[in-house]
Structure 1
């Protein structure tokens, strides 16, 4: 192979590697109505939340989880939600970063609801095809105890929607809330169909008429819930480690961890750079970045030397 072709091949390899490593981790939303715990706490302000529950969540897991409000996900879920997420960790999807959301408390800010038809609004920052499924806790739910899969009425979802059309930053779909009283929780699963990636959220709701299950009523009424505004989302985007725009419905490659054998909890490696943290890329991609840069540099060097030699000999690169 002529030197010029070798250089071009090396440069192309480097560019391909760099393009691959530049793809940030995809994470794209959370329930907006009834507002999820993470979205509620983000709306209150990560640095100084107002409610006791959100303050406790920050104390347990830090503020970064709130800036990453649209990132409660498993990249390789592929419908294996119960297999991958342990009891007591449903709200965090087994992710250490979001462990503050799993706190069993009866004072999470709650959305007032009643039995019957309900319009759900899922706040999305990057649309993808897939199915939304929303489950309600069973009668007798006790918010002061860790949430387990057995506490959800999995046989009777309160809402399902496949490929709803996003509008105004939300997916909107309808469902039917069951007869309940007091405080309960709605658990939403968004399973993409163009990727194994799935997203999860917990929304606290209050049907009225009691404290909910056998949990003691809080000493003071829990504050009403409210979703973050577009302005709040934009203001905090630069502090997020999560992709906020994505690549649209047809790009299945935006799933960050396609391996079916990867562990649920994926803490960032100690050697990950600040640039990787800002883009949401995993620490493992740093090796690819280095390799891509090296290949690109090598290709450029070979091409430069080839051109210099031909110029010195009066020839022209072909």
Structure 2
């Protein structure tokens, strides 16, 4: 039977429509071929982590406005948090990436990540001045090196665009063999307050460079300088890649005073945990807990505390957090339980409070 030209055109049109819709469906899903900084989180990874399951919530506009503008500009900036790279840079990063465009990789991929360059008070992770940086590599590309920069003291990322001159290179790592995660011990020196950690990940499988902005608040206190869990030119790493749960709310960018809480004792080979309120607002707050291994390496950790004033945990990331009344238990995820002696990792959560929001006393146990 001969098919008419009209029927052929209709069939072709339907095929084109289906293909286009399929393409849109694919691009709206998180890519699985690459990676990003997960601690401290890159800007788009952090927005995905906090809002991926609730990205249409209008409350984001007031409690996490920088993420809100990024979601409004292009949701795929977050869905594809692991694809912010350029190819063919040949190590000449400063020539390839203009000032004011560092967080988007020079508006790579036709400006796909341009919203990450927006100046403002991005939600920041609270860190001691010596901390562990974790990069999650879902495809296990390996790394020729990581270049880790931190903004100079006095630079204000809430009002100034990020430039090469505002950064100081604090570390260039050696090569990492392919693994799910790569870690580096970073020393921020005497810096305090809000900063940007800018990391360039040079993947090993081809000339592919990732450009990653992480917002942090340095406490001015010390931290871990232990051996990384995936050391340069080695393949030691956590057994699985990062797949953190997405939280439904986010802490605002207003920073409150820090309030650490340290356990009174620690068994050899055990762990300690410190609690810092990173932000606080009417009815809500954000906190970061840093877990540090003792005199020997550990494989798992558990942190417990009891809120004294009726506070509750509403969302969390980088840990599994459960509550029974005022008692809270946090356990490691698959990708941050293994710590070398003296090494640290951290997790965060948002909570609610009324009246008083005192800092609890923590206990930490490990195996």
Q: Is the 8 A contact 1:164 1:172 kept in 2?
A: no
Residue 164 (structure 1) aligned with residue 215 (structure 2): no
Structure 2 unaligned runs (5+)? 1-30, 221-252, 257-278, 281-285, 289-315, 321-367
Three-state SS of the structure 1 residue aligned to 2:168 is coil
Match of 1:44 among 43, 50, 65: 50
2:211 to 200, 204, 207: 200
* Distance of aligned partners of 1:91 and 1:228 in 2 relative to their CA distance in 1, 3 Å threshold: farther
Shift of the 224–89 alpha-carbon distance from structure 1 to 2, 3 Å rule, reads farther
* Cα shift at 1:164: 2.7
Q: Is the 8 A contact 2:147 2:199 kept in 1?
A: yes
- The alignment's TM-score, normalised by the length of structure 1, stands at 0.54
| Counterparts in 2 of 1:66 and 1:26: CA distance versus 1, 3 Å | closer
| C-alpha RMSD of the superposition | 2.9
Counterpart Cα distance in 1 of 2:214 and 2:175: 21
Query: Which has more strand, going by share of residues?
Result: 2
Larger fraction in helix: 1
Instruction: Quote how far apart the aligned CAs of 1:98 are.
Output: 0.6
User: Does 2:53 correspond to 1:53?
Assistant: no
Q: Which ranges in structure 1 are unaligned for 5 or more consecutive residues?
A: 1-24, 210-216, 231-318
1:228 and 1:81 mapped to 2: Cα distance? 31
In our comparison, the structure showing a higher alpha carbon Rg is 1
Whether the 8 Å CA contact 2:33–2:82 is kept in 1: the answer is yes
Per-residue CA distance 1:158-186 (angstroms, 9 max, x = gap)? x332333565x321222222211110010
Decide which of 123, 145, 153 is 2:160's aligned counterpart: 145
TM-score normalized by structure 2? 0.48
* Equivalent position to 1:65, from 77, 95, 100: 77
Matches within 5 A, 1:191-270: 191-208=202-219, 218=254, 221=279
Distance (Å, rounded) in 1 between the aligned partners of 2:149 and 2:202 = 14
Which consecutive segments of 4 or more residues in structure 1 shift more than 2 A? 45-50, 159-167, 217-230
Greater relative CO (CA pairs within 8 A, separation 6+): 1
**1:1-318 equivalences in 2 (<5 Å):** 28-46=34-52, 47-48=55-56, 50=60, 51-59=64-72, 61-95=73-107, 96-106=111-121, 108-116=122-130, 118-129=131-142, 130-143=144-157, 144-154=159-169, 157=170, 159-165=171-177, 169-208=180-219, 218=254, 221=279
1:15 — aligned with what? none
